[in-house]
Amino acid sequence: MKFSAVIVAAGKGARAGAGTPKQWRSLAGRPVARWSLEALLAAGARGVVVVVSPGDEARARAAFAGLEGWTLATGGADLAALDGGTEAVLIHDAARPFVQSGHVEALLAALADAPGAVPALAVSDTLKRDGVDGLSTTPREGLFRAQTPQAFRLAALLEAYAAWPADETPTDDAAVLERAGGRVARTPGDPMLMKLTYAEDFAMAERLAVSAARITRTGFGYDAHRFGPGQSVWLCGVEIAHDKTLVGHSDADAGLHALTDALLGAVGEGDIGDHFPPSDPQWRGVSSDRFLRHALDLVRAKGGQVVNVDVTLICERPRIKPHREVMRARLAEILQLPLDRVSVKATTTEGMGFTGREEGLAAQAVATVETAG
């Protein structure tokens, strides 16, 4: 269904505290109103009218710099002037910054059976009314908290507004359609559609914004090296005495190589060979923690952080368990993680395959990373 949208950003937001009106304040680095405009444009709005107070035009243009598909209006939006192909209109409060495409899709789907639709949350708290004799309980069964955006078939809403008494002010657009006899469907509400009303709401919104703006990524790495003559092996940054050594470019630390690949994979940066080609002599014999630190730098360059890592070493010998805690500590040091976010495990193949025949050793790793996008 083709739709346009109206964002109401004309309030003064006095209850949110003195200073800049709440819709123009910064939330996780973006003006509050911009969150809604970006979301509605991304959801497919044919055009978005942003209603602002007279004198706020410059603020709005600065807040929406770089975005296309929107226009400004002062004093109210002329619904009849919306895009000629528009079948539906979504009307949204700029003080609810966390609208998502899923909310829009649910509302448009509801318009197939009703001229209006509103996301609403059931009232979960016990309701009390304050009277001269103190508090009294009000039944909450069947009561819901209406949110925005609210969706309407444009023709039905225009007809309803034409019949609305000029001397009355509706509490919301759904009330206009209701009075005209139009049915308003309910779509699932969402606690994330919170309204920024008071100054303390911004602290919670900031935490939600940071969480909403971040994504979780997972990377997997695998590496194997054959054994050769020697007296020790390097595994997960720890040297272990052994009657063989691992053969390979650098120090052949299969644990760190697998973990490096896991981090690179989590942020889409290829594999260890792309960054440290085995054909390049400068990496011969180098300590593999250098590779892992490089991968960590790439994660951080994307605004990310490593959440946890898990390494599994696959071999018959050397025995890993006596060295496991030292390995965990070493990985935690390199990655700057708490110890309980680092896991090192070991297993055997019970005599099967190249590891079972002690021809070599293998490692696999999983890394979980959060990034800004």
Mean pLDDT of 20-35: 88
Whole-number Å distance between alpha carbons of 93 and 252:
58
Decide: 82 and 158 in contact? Cβ < 8 Å: no
For 174-205, what is each residue's pLDDT tens digit?
999 999 999 999 999 999 899 998 888 888 88
Strands (E), 17-115: 26-27, 30-31, 48-52, 70-74, 88-93
Residue 272: CB atoms within 10 Å: 26
> 3-class SS at 326?
helix
Pairwise pLDDT comparison (10 vs 342), residue with the higher score: 342
For 72-125, what is each residue's pLDDT tens digit?
999 777 887 787 778 999 999 999 999 999 999 999 999 999 999 999 999 999
Amino acid 157: pLDDT:
96
Amino acid 284: pLDDT:
85
Class of the domain covering 215-371: alpha beta
Mean pLDDT of 239-261: 95
Mean pLDDT of 337-345: 96
Q: Where in the chain is the domain with CATH 3.30.1330.50?
A: 215-371
- Kindly report the CATH number that applies to the domain delimited by 3-212: 3.90.550.10
The secondary structure of residue 318, as a DSSP letter, is S
**Lowest-pLDDT range of 20-29, 110-119, 256-265:** 20-29
Model confidence band, residue 13 (pLDDT cutoffs 50, 70, 90): low
The CA-based angle 65-67-68, given to 5 degrees, is: 130
Mean pLDDT of 238-259: 95
Mean pLDDT of 161-165: 95
Close Cβ partners of 371 (under 8 Å, ≥ 6 residues apart):
214, 215, 217, 267, 299, 302, 303, 304, 305
Q: What is the pTM of this model?
A: 0.61
